[in-house]
């Protein structure tokens, strides 16, 4: 085997194996994330349809009328039209009687016992894959007292096969491109090394006295060039290894930060209540809500509630900044609510916030809202029926659903209403919600 082939078989396999291994790693991650994302999407759809049944009178009526299936409600059709391939069905609990169906599946529903065991006594969503490889999610529909009045089924097509083909196509092209480029480079390198090694040989026509000197000078320079080439390959190998180690460390850091965020959410769920001064306060955290903080305080005849979100990079750093801002606000509250809010906003840049001071005298409530550039400005008390609702939600549709639900169930107790609002927003939005009920 000549020098050229030795160079090719010694270096070229690396140009095939490295992109192939990286592509297989990417394929595994893409498939795993695709399946997880599809499960979360169909679960969110089922949870949204279950909550929609309680807030939309037309959808709610489908679970109150016994008999043959009724047409699909308009809001359900609008929600399904935004998701390609999505389908939905609703069932009444009495013998699993069909309430309505939008392009239903041919697979029969599970038994009523399975549904009650999996979703009947909890707010969890049952996600599974059907025999036709479609994602299905079952969620319970409850009334204002928490009783199950029906079940909704959300279905979405499984696109894992399409994602798999796309990733495999990318892996094949990357491997083929890298292999072709590596082969060309090895051919050029092999030709260069072969030519230089031939030049190291001393021609037979050289004079006996001049040959040693010429051979010594020529061989020394050529050997140094080959050594420099080897050092260059060692440097390339070191750089590639450092890049792989850096990527591995970044992945480990990201997973560690995610686990810390989950541990923080489990340790500090954000549920806090306050009673006295003529009102009752129930504050809840929706999702992780990194960067959001709350402050509940009762001083003499007044009750203070502050919900805000700091301007920080999403993640663990945002949660640390929010915790620090909350501690600072509590430390300066004795100076007065207005001054405390101004000092906190000056030290910790805020993205949004709401504050309320309830004196208890004639149900007098003063409310402020924070907006970047405007600071804390007074606004009318955010009444929703007999309750006042504070929040740090960013999406207008989330605020609309929040206030609509609070007005629809104004007679509910503060604790139950706060828990229902969290279930209404969970999985789709993040933030803080507080229910203030005067007269308790």
| pLDDT one-digit tens code per residue, 266-295 | 655 567 888 877 788 999 988 878 889 999
Q: What is the pLDDT of residue 352?
A: 93
Task: Name the token pair of 67.
Answer: 């008999």
Q: What is the pLDDT of residue 205?
A: 43
Q: Is 301 helix (H, G, I), strand (E, B) or coil?
A: coil
Q: What is the pLDDT of residue 210?
A: 47
Confidence of residue 319 (pLDDT cuts 50, 70, 90): confident
Give residue 377's Cα distance to chain centre. Answer: 32
All structural domains of the chain: 1-200 (3.30.450.20), 270-438 (3.60.40.10)
- The residue-averaged pLDDT of 399-415 equals 88
Confidence of residue 139 (pLDDT cuts 50, 70, 90): confident
Residue 219 has pLDDT above 60, yes or no: no
Find residue 391's DSSP bridge partners: 433
Q: 332-341 contacts: CB < 8 A, separation 24 or more?
A: 333/295, 333/297, 333/299, 333/304, 337/304, 337/306, 338/376, 341/306, 341/368, 341/370, 341/376
Q: What is the pLDDT of residue 308?
A: 94
Beta strands in 148-254 (DSSP E): 148-157
Task: Name the token pair of 239.
Answer: 């750089």
Mean pLDDT rounded to a whole number for the chain: 78
Residue 350 has pLDDT above 80, yes or no: yes
Q: What is the pLDDT of residue 19?
A: 81
Cα separation, 12 vs 344, whole angstroms: 61
Q: What is the pLDDT of residue 209?
A: 46
Cα separation, 242 vs 249, whole angstroms: 10
Cα separation, 333 vs 338, whole angstroms: 9
Q: Phi and psi for 358 in degrees, rounded to 5?
A: -110, 120
Would you say 172 and 117 are in contact if contact means Cβ atoms under 8 Å apart? Answer: no
Cα separation, 60 vs 222, whole angstroms: 86
Would you say 137 and 46 are in contact if contact means Cβ atoms under 8 Å apart? Answer: yes
- The residue-averaged pLDDT of 47-66 equals 77
Find residue 303's DSSP bridge partners: 298, 358
Q: Could you tell me which residue, 346 or 91, shows the higher pLDDT?
A: 346
């Amino acid at each position: 085997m000549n020098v050229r082939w030795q160079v090719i078989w010694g270096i070229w396999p690396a140009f095939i194996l490295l992109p192939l291994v990286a592509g297989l790693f990417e394929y595994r991650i893409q498939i795993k994330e695709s399946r997880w994302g599809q499960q979360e999407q169909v679960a969110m759809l089922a949870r949204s349809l279950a909550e929609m049944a309680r807030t939309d009178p037309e959808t709610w009526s489908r679970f109150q009328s016994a008999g043959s299936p009724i047409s699909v409600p308009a809001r359900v059709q609008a929600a399904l039209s935004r998701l390609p391939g999505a389908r939905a069905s609703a069932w009444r609990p009495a013998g699993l009687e069909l309430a309505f169906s939008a392009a239903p599946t041919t697979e029969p529903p599970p038994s009523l016992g399975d549904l009650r065991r999996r979703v009947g006594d909890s707010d969890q969503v049952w996600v599974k894959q059907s025999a036709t490889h479609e994602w299905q999610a079952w969620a319970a529909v409850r009334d204002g007292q928490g009783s199950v009045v029906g079940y909704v089924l959300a279905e979405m097509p499984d696109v894992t096969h399409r994602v798999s083909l796309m990733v495999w196509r990318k892996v094949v092209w990357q491997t083929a491109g890298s292999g072709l480029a590596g082969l060309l480079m090895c051919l050029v390198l092999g030709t260069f090394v072969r030519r230089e090694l031939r030049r190291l040989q001393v021609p037979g026509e050289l004079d006996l006295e001049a040959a040693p000197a010429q051979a010594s000078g020529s061989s020394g320079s050529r050997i140094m060039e080959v050594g420099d080439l080897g050092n260059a390959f060692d440097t390339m190998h070191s750089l590639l290894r450092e890049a792989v180690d850096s990527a591995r460390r970044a992945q480990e850091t990201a997973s560690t930060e995610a686990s810390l965020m989950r541990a923080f959410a489990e340790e500090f769920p954000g549920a806090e209540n306050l009673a006295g001064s003529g009102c009752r306060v129930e504050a809840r955290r929706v999702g992780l809500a990194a960067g959001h903080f709350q402050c509940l305080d009762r001083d003499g005849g007044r009750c203070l509630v502050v919900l805000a979100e700091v301007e920080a990079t999403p993640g663990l750093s945002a949660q640390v900044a929010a915790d620090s801002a909350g501690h600072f606000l509590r430390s300066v509250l004795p100076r007065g609510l207005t001054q405390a809010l101004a000092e906190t906003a000056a030290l910790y840049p805020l993205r949004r916030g709401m504050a309320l001071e309830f004196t208890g005298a004639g149900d007098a409530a003063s409310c402020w809202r924070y907006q970047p550039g405007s600071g804390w400005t007074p606004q009318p008390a955010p009444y929703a029926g007999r309750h006042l609702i504070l929040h740090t939600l960013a999406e207008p549709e989330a605020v609309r659903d929040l206030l609509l639900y609070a007005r629809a169930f104004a007679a509910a107790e503060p604790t139950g209403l706060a828990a229902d609002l969290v279930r209404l927003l969970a999985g789709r939005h993040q933030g803080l919600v507080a229910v203030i009920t005067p007269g308790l």
